[in-house]
Structure 1
Amino acid sequence: MLRAARARDRPAFIELLASPEVHAHLGGPRPRDVLERELPEVPGRWPGSFVVDLDGTMIGQVLLRRPAGDRLAAVGKVDLGYLFLPEVWGLGYAAEACTAALGWLDRVLPGEPVVLATQTANAGSMRLAAKLGFTEVERFHAWDAEQWLGMRSPVTPSR
């Protein structure tokens, strides 16, 4: 289930942001003590930010946002991002949650193109991008690694 963040999700947000496994392809984890001090009481509260809830427990986060990226192919487009706790990797929750979030976006902003960037070394994220219908736009080098940028064709609303 996708839902808005709540105060009780704060420990799971800290776990996601401090996890070396989760951030292996994202520039490394943030220090837990800094997160404990600086993370708001209810992290991730803005339109397009969803907590992924499994039986009342946060297992991940899906984000849809317009970053101020420097990749020309991504400028002005919505970017899909996701973080999941390692214990749920490979169980299909990311695909299900991202599909639901993209469905929400298609209802709120019909015809909106969506991009997704990931390191090519992140095999799980590359598989997920393909499963979600993203196709390669470009590869580039950033943060000391090869990056992949994919785009999902806009879904045209049916009348």
Structure 2
Amino acid sequence: MSELEFPTWPPAPLTTERLVLRGAEARDRAAFVELFASPEVGAHLGGPRPREALEHEMPEVPGRRPGLFVAEFAGTMTGVITLDRDRREGAKGPGAAELGFMLLPEAWGRGYAEEACAAVLGWFAGVRPGEPVALRTRTANGRAMRLAARLGFTEVERYEEYGAEQWLGVRLPSSGRSASAAER
């Protein structure tokens, strides 16, 4: 996916009750390798990547690009939250912002994804007011489906891709209002 444009990148770190959301740093490299090599994480993203290849290919500062936030808990990277340009046809057409998230398995089930995504969506609404945000996930990923609902995303379509049923939801700007059928 191509990058969205932001006034400045990285922004000042975003802080929540438990997390810091910031730009990537060299100290995050090992966690990036672990994230992309994880069979649990890869199960929802087409499979894990080989650790040896990641160790060889991963830049010194991985993920250093506009729209990628490192989610940090107690000084350690626990995952990433991304905002990218959606290049697929969808409810709002190509070019809409798309939210993505990946957390290390040991961070699952603690509410970090919701806390981090809500903070990033709030930040996005401030720097790109009036823009809807899309979210795609496999329908088999129950945790992601429940998170999308809690964040205010409304289903727009289901489709087959990567050998599995996929889900596309849209969240309209301001206060997490979801799209009604008339607005789509």
Deviation at 1:75, TM superposition (A): 1.1
Rounded Cα–Cα distance in structure 1 between residues aligned with 2:90 and 2:146: 24
How many residues are treated as equivalent by the alignment?
Answer: 155
**d(CA) in 1 for partners of 2:31 and 2:52?**
14
Give secondary structure in 2 for the equivalent of 1:26: coil
Is residue 135 from structure 1 mapped to residue 154 from structure 2 by the alignment?
yes
User: What is the CA-CA distance between 1:68 and the residue it aligns to?
Assistant: 2.3
- 1:76 CA drift (Å): 1.3
2:66 to 43, 47, 50: 47
Write the distance in 1 (CA, Å) between the matches of 2:50 and 2:108.
22
- Secondary structure at 1:37's aligned position in 2? helix
Aligned to 1:18: 37
Q: Which moved more, 1:73-82 or 1:113-122?
A: 73-82
Task: Check whether the contact 1:112–1:155 (CA below 8 A) recurs between aligned residues.
Answer: no
- Residue in structure 2 matching 1:72, options 58, 78, 90: 90
Which structure 2 segments of 5+ residues have no match? 1-19, 176-184
* 1:19 Cα deviation after fit: 0.4
Distance (whole Å) between structure 2 residues aligned to residue 60 and residue 72 of structure 1: 27
User: Percent identity between the aligned chains?
Assistant: 61
TM-score by length of 1: 0.94
User: Offset of 1:45 from its aligned partner?
Assistant: 1.0
Q: CA RMSD in A?
A: 1.1
Q: List structure 1 segments (4+ residues) > 6 angstroms apart after TM superposition.
A: none
Gaps of 5+ in 1: none
Q: Which residue of 2 aligns with 1:148?
A: 167
For 2:69, the aligned partner's letter is F
Q: Select the residue among 110, 128, 132 that pairs with 1:109.
A: 128
| Superposed displacement of residue 67, structure 1 | 3.5
Secondary structure of the corresponding residue to residue 173 of structure 2:
coil
Return the offset for 1:72. Answer: 3.3
- Could you tell me which amino acid in structure 2 is paired with residue 155 of structure 1? S
Equivalent residue of 2:80, what SS?
Answer: strand
- 1:155 Cα offset (Å): 1.9
Structure 2 residue aligned with 1:30? 49
TM-score between the two structures when normalised by the length of structure 2: 0.82
Whether the 8 Å contact between 2:86 and 2:134 is mirrored in structure 1 is: no
**Partner-residue secondary structure (3-state), 1:41:** coil
3-state DSSP class of the match of 1:45? Answer: coil
The change in CA–CA distance for 1:147 and 1:61 in structure 2 (over 3 A counts) is same
